[in-house]
Amino acid sequence: MSRTRTAILAALALVAGASGTAVAAVAPEPGIAAVPCTVDYKVQNQWDTGFTTAVTVTNNGAAKSSWAVKWSYAGNQKVTSGWNAKISQIGTAVTAANESYNGSLASGGSVSFGFNASYSGTNALPTTFTLDGVTCNVDDGSGGGGGTDPDPSGKVDNPYAGAKVYVNPEWSAKAAAETGGSRVASQPTGVWLDRIAAINGVNGGMGLRAHLDAALAQKGSSEEVVQLVVYDLPGRDCAALASNGELGPTEIDKYKTQFIDPIAAILADSKYASLRIVTTIEIDSLPNLVTNTGSRATATPACDTMLANGNYVKGVGYALNKLGAIPNVYNYLDAGHHGWIGWDDNFAPSATLFKQAATSEGATVGDVHGFITNTANYSALKENNFTINDSVNGTSVRQSKWVDWNRYVDELSFAQAFRSQLVSVGFDSGIGMLIDTSRNGWGGTARPTGPGATTSVDTYVNGGRYDRRIHVGNWCNQSGAGLGERPQAAPATGIDAYVWMKPPGESDGSSSAIANDEGKGFDRMCDPTYTGNARNGNSMSGALPNAPLSGHWFSAQFQELMKNAYPAL
């Protein structure tokens, strides 16, 4: 998942540092391990002019009340900001000293810190590190997105690396029955557990055990990932009526005992221990507490209720705790998408709220293997025709109507940046991101081939953007959308996989009110005649007509997605 310093340095030797200065290792005290310290230096995210790095130092010597780690660069790298350490730099030499709150470093203990830095040319990794003047060995383990080194829990770094991913036979059959659908019917998609009844199967359909049994049959002698969406919080989807759930706002105990506990019991069955089970936790829940509460124009009474009673946070924490305790389960917490929490007001507060949820109800940050963005959404993976740093006639792209002061223009840049933010608030430095690319291809004849005209910042952005939605807030059954990148492991720095977590062809919500026993309401954002609200800039909804209830098969949408696939089918 990351680029890691791999050289092993001999302890108790003169070692030439990156700056060319010889550093003498100090002999260990009697009874102390011969390797005085180890350093794990991981470049988590790198772009043309900068990078983000996480460093973990383990002290194998005597306990310390303060510490300082030093290294030198061979190139022109410059540290620009850091966290969990006081970082200074003179020329190529860098010193990271403890903060007031993390100076104690026990024998055998570790401390982690991170930083952002700039560079040009090449970004060579440092070769020598010292802890209080003592040369450290450097952890071996070549990195790169998708490494599979095990962590102490027995989980692999990236569950998707080197593994097949479960093809849901029910979805596959529906896709194959569509004209041209055989081209994608073998792709892996998520299995949605969106109500209590889904655990045992609805209307004769496959339940959780049936899916896991089918996954074992597909697995053979290979590694196999099964993707589950765990999605039934009390007061679910407080800002989107189309996917309202069956549980009322106060039914947290029912959520725990009748939904999470039975799922955990099945996943913990030793029969399924050889599967890598990826659980994506409670789509769209926590971001609603950031953006749709309080005095904001987008606030709803239902979201205010869920913020006040704490049941989103409690439910997510409980799910992370119970499922994270299972050795072969990998929890990925939903993190919205760039068009939701990419703004300054939402970005850092979201990471803080996720940390709160991940440390509630007995959960710890260790129960979070990563995060998923763009689930069931349409944000373009990568906008190539403009960047957030562009300007037209002196006006920044951020000021365009489409970007509207967001700091991100696409999902990949957002996911990588948000990963760094999550690490900065205390999530493990090894977390990885998933991006749902099931409906963000935006291909077909409407796909721009270059930047827009530079007559204004709006013509420049609108003429060049791949995402052809009327407004970035539109989320329901979008006209013109296409299948995106096919599912694949470790496609970019910090990204564990591109996934199709939302099965293409399953509706986001009905175009008009439909009576049902699934607890699903009618949201005008799924009505193609709707003229909008504060969450989509009072724009037309852009939704396809004649859509069924959320989760039900929508043939017209599936055909639209295939027609506009990018890469093309």
Catalytic residues, by residue number, are 284, 508
Supply 306's token pair: 């869920």
One-letter amino acid at 342 equals G
Q: What is the DSSP letter of 521?
A: -
Using a CB cutoff of 8 Å and minimum separation of 24, what contacts does 357-361 make?
357/286, 357/312, 357/313, 357/316, 357/317, 357/320, 357/333, 358/316, 358/317, 358/320, 358/333, 358/427, 359/317, 360/313, 360/314, 360/316, 360/317, 360/318, 361/314, 361/317, 361/318, 361/320, 361/321
CA dihedral over 486, 490, 495, 499, signed as positive or negative? positive
Question: Positive or negative CA dihedral for 315, 321, 326, 331?
Answer: positive
Instruction: Give the containing element (helix H, strand E) for 477.
Output: none
DSSP string, 357-425: HHTSTT--GGG--EEEESTT----S---S--TT-EETTEEGGGSTTTTT-S-SSHHHHHHHHHHHHHHT
Residue 345: its H or E element: helix 344-358
Rg (the chain; Cα; Å): 25
Sign of the torsion formed by the C-alpha atoms of 117, 120, 125 and 128: negative
The token pair that represents 105 in the structure block: 């470093």
Which residues have C-beta within 8 Å of that of residue 272, sequence separation ≥ 6?
A: 212, 215, 216, 266, 328
Residue whose tokens read 């799910």? 319
Q: Is the Cβ–Cβ distance between 157 and 60 less than 8 Å?
A: no
DSSP β-bridge partners for residue 130: 70, 135
CB 59 within 8 A of CB 37: yes
User: Peptide bond preceding 567: is omega within 30 degrees of 0, i.e. cis?
Assistant: yes
| Alpha-carbon gap, residue 287 to 292, rounded angstroms | 8
Q: Is the Cβ–Cβ distance between 198 and 262 less than 8 Å?
A: no
- Could you tell me how many helices (H) and strands (E) the chain has, helices first? 12, 24
Task: Give residue 380's region: left, alpha or beta (phi > 0; psi -120 to 50).
Answer: beta
Residue 531 contacts residue 497 (beta carbons within 8 Å): no
Question: Which CA distances in Å does 479 have to 180, 534, 557?
Answer: 19, 20, 8
CA distance 514 to 535: 24
